[in-house]
Amino acid sequence: MKLLTHNMLECRIKGIENRYPFVIEASQVDTVEQDFDPDFLRHMYPRLEWPALKAAADSLGVTGLPTSVSEDMLEDEEFLKVFHHALLEVVLIEGFLVCPESGRKFPVSKGIPNLLLNEDEV
Amino acid sequence: MRTASISLTTYNREVYEPSDDTFLLVDALLKASSQWPKRPYLCIEIGCGSGFASCALALILCQLGLPHHLIALDISKDAVTATRATLKAHGVISADVVQDRFQDFLSRTEQQYDIVVFNPPYVPTPDEELQRTDIARSWAGGWKGRIVIDQFLSYVPKILAQEGQLFLVVVSENDPPGILKALEELDSSLSGQVLMTRRADEELLSVLHIQRR
C-alpha cells in the first residue's frame, strides 16, 4: 500500500471523533520505482491531506518533505521528486494501521490493509 | 490494446471467475477510453473479485500514457488476495488493494474519483441470500437484484469528481432506465446512458455509463 492510499483511509469505528489519519506501525516497507510524472503530482496535490502524508512519511523514515507546500513549489522539480517518492514509491507491505483515537489496529498483510470492522464496532 | 489475460488471472471456488459480465465491462471501458472527458487520475473498482477488470483498466490507462492511481476494493479476503496476484502477474504497479465494505470505505467524503467501476451483485435472489458470506456475495442481489446497487447509488453523487465517470454493470431485471433516473434524481449534474448491451445465456447484460457534468 502506497502512502497515497494511506492518505485516503480513515478509521470508521463508531463513537470517536479523531479518526484520521491512521498511525503506521510498519514491520516491512519496500520501495517500488514508479514513473515520475509532474502533471500527476500537481493534480493529486489538491486532493491530499498534506500533514497526513508528511506524518506518514516521517514515521517510515522517508525524509525531505516540507511541513507545508506553496504553489511555486509544484513547479520545482527537486521538490516534486521528493513528493513523488513519498507518495508513490514507498510501499507498506507488513504492519498495522492504528486508529489515532481508539488505538484499534488494522492489519496490513502482503500490502493489503484489512479495514473490516467487527459487528460491535459499527 | 492489451487488457487483462485470463491465463494471468487468479480465481478459485471463493472468487468469481471472469465471465460474460466481466468481459462486457472491460469492452465498455475500452470503448469509453478512446474519449475520456478528462485525464483520469484517481480510479476505484468496487468489488474487484479476481482483479480482472481492475487490471484491464490499469493496463488501458498505461497504454494511453495516463498516469493514475487505482484502488481495488473488495470485502472478501479471497478476492483481495486474488486481485493482488492478478495485478502482480500482469505487472500492474499503479493499483493498491484494500479489504473493506464499500459502504465504510466510501464514507470518507473528501475523496472524489475520476473513474468508478462497479460490477455489483446484480442477480435477483431472495433477500436472505445477502446474509451469506461465501462467494454468493459476488452475485446475490436480493429483490430485483437491486439491494446492493441501491445502497451504492446513494454514494455516487459524493464520490464522483467533476467530469468523473461511473461504469456500472446491470441486468435487465435491475431496471436499467430506473437506475439512470434514480441517479439523475439524486443529483441533477449526473447523466447517464447504456454504453453497451450483450445477451449471455439468460441474462441481458448492460454497462451503464454515468458522468458528472
Q: Where are the domains of chain B?
A: 18-212
Hey, CA dihedral for B32, B38, B39, B42, is it positive or negative? negative
Cβ of B95 under 8 Å from any chain A Cβ? no
Question: How far is Cα A85 from Cα B9, in angstroms, rounded to an integer?
Answer: 29
pLDDT of residue B90: 97
Q: Residue A21: is the preceding peptide bond cis (ω within 30°)?
A: yes
Cβ of B75 under 8 Å from any chain A Cβ? yes
- Among the listed residues B27, B97, B38, the one whose alpha carbon sits nearest the alpha carbon of residue B64: B38
Question: How far is Cα B195 from Cα A64, in angstroms, rounded to an integer?
Answer: 46
Closest residue in chain A to residue B112, using alpha carbons only: A47
- A47–B111 C-beta distance less than 8 A: yes
pLDDT of residue B110: 67
- B96–A2 C-beta distance less than 8 A: yes
Residues of A in contact with B81 (CB under 8 A): 110, 112
Structural contact between residues B179 and B144, judged by C-beta atoms closer than 8 angstroms: no
Cβ of B80 under 8 Å from any chain A Cβ? yes
| DSSP secondary structure code for residue B15 in this structure | B
CATH architecture of B18-212: 3-Layer(aba) Sandwich (3.40)
- The 3-state secondary structure of chain A reads CEHHHHCCCCCCCCCCCCCCCCEEEEEEEEECCCCCCHHHHHHHHHHCCHHHHHHHHHHCCCCCCCCCCCHHHHHCHHHHHHHHHHHHHEEEEEEEEECCCCCCEEEEECCEEECCCCHHHC
- B81–A112 C-beta distance less than 8 A: yes
Question: How far is Cα B76 from Cα B139, in angstroms, rounded to an integer?
Answer: 13
Residues of B in contact with A2 (CB under 8 A): 69, 96
User: H or E segment at B61?
Assistant: helix B52-63
- From A20, A47, A112, residue closest to B80, measured CB to CB: A112
Structural contact between residues B51 and A83, judged by C-beta atoms closer than 8 angstroms: no
Cβ of B159 under 8 Å from any chain A Cβ? no
Structural contact between residues B67 and B42, judged by C-beta atoms closer than 8 angstroms: no
Q: Which residues pair with B193 in a beta bridge?
A: B209
Ranges of residues in chain A whose predicted pLDDT is under 70: none
Residues of A in contact with B107 (CB under 8 A): 12
- The set of cell numbers assigned to A51 is 500533514
User: Which pLDDT tens digits describe chain B residue by residue (213 residues)?
Assistant: 999 999 999 999 899 999 999 999 999 999 999 888 788 999 999 999 999 999 999 999 999 999 999 999 999 999 999 999 999 999 999 999 999 999 999 987 666 999 999 999 999 999 888 888 888 888 889 999 999 999 999 999 999 999 999 999 999 999 999 999 999 999 999 999 999 999 998 899 999 999 998
- A8–B104 C-beta distance less than 8 A: no
Cβ of B98 under 8 Å from any chain A Cβ? yes
Cβ of A42 under 8 Å from any chain B Cβ? no
Question: How far is Cα B117 from Cα B47, in angstroms, rounded to an integer?
Answer: 9
Most B CBs within 10 A among A41, A45, A96, A115, hence the mutation to make, goes to: A115
In chain A the domains, ranked by start, together with CATH numbers, are 3-106 (2.20.25.10)
Cβ of B67 under 8 Å from any chain A Cβ? yes
pLDDT of residue B109: 63
Residue type, B101: R
